[in-house]
């Protein structure tokens, strides 16, 4: 994209930071919002920290992203979910939607942040290519991975964040009916992924969000 070919090792090095932060901050945002709305469980257990060691899931945070980077050139994954006692929330039905939305919201803000980093890197003067080029690639990757995580998590299918938002906002009978889909949510997503339908569903909102951020900051 910037006229330079990167090795696999360079791609992994550039991808690790935005992927790790995208996953970890997503979970911390859930716990932070829950704490503000009445549930201190995550805070009491020391999970409101950006220390990745507190959040790493060996499979979702390390193995899956690494395999995807090596095979398809991008990655997504997951961290250990922050523990939340929904009954502690001041208004459980309403507040659970805010807690769920906090994760994708954090990914959106991080996408903007990585885009700004990439934009700044693109403005560095000649002679600083060894810094500018990796930062530009990292900015682009950070934008994409965070938008990917945001859109994936907003799919209204329990147990995703979008599923929890939907069950909170729908009339109770419909919300309860949707919540009963949760045991089948992950298998359904895997089937959609394997058939290619998941990407067809996600591609338009990913492209629209990426286009919006590009217009806002003039990078990408």
The whole-number pLDDT of residue 73 equals 58
Per residue in 46-85, pLDDT (tens digit) is 999 988 888 888 887 777 777 776 776 555 667 888 999 9
Please state the pTM of the whole predicted model: 0.88
Per residue in 82-98, pLDDT (tens digit) is 999 999 999 999 999 99
Helices (H), the chain: 8-36, 41-44, 64-72, 92-122, 129-153, 161-169, 172-179, 182-195, 197-217
The whole-number pLDDT of residue 41 equals 95
Burial of 4 (0-12, 13-18, 19+ CB in 10 A): exposed
Q: Please, what is the average pLDDT of the chain?
A: 88
Domain ranges, ordered by start, for the chain: 8-217
27 is catalytic: yes
The whole-number pLDDT of residue 190 equals 81
CA proximity to 102, closest of 142, 154, 41, 47: 154
**8 Å CB contact between 163 and 157:** yes
The active-site residue out of 27, 87, 129, 182 is 27
Per residue in 94-135, pLDDT (tens digit) is 999 999 999 999 999 999 999 999 999 989 888 887 888 888
């Amino acid at each position: 994209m910037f006229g330079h070919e990167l090795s696999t090792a360079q791609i992994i090095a550039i991808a690790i930071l935005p992927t790790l932060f995208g996953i970890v901050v997503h979970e911390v945002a859930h716990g932070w919002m829950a704490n503000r709305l009445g549930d201190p469980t995550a805070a009491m257990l020391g999970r409101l920290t950006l220390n990745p060691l507190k959040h790493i899931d060996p499979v979702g945070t390390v193995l899956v992203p690494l395999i995807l980077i090596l095979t398809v050139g991008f990655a997504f994954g997951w961290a250990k979910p922050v523990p939340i006692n929904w009954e502690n929330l001041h208004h459980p039905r309403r507040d659970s939607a805010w807690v769920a939305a906090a994760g994708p919201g954090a990914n959106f803000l991080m996408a903007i942040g990585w885009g700004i980093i990439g934009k700044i890197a693109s403005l560095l003067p000649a002679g600083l290519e060894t810094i500018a080029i990796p930062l530009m690639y990292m900015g682009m990757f950070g934008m994409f991975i965070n938008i990917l995580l945001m859109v994936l998590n907003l799919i209204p299918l329990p147990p995703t964040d979008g599923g929890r938002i939907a069950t909170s906002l729908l009339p109770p009978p419909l919300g309860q009916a949707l919540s009963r889909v949760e045991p089948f949510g992950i298998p359904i997503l895997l089937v959609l992924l394997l058939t290619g339908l998941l990407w067809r569903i996600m591609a338009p909102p990913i492209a629209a969000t990426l286009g919006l951020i590009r217009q806002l900051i003039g990078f990408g």
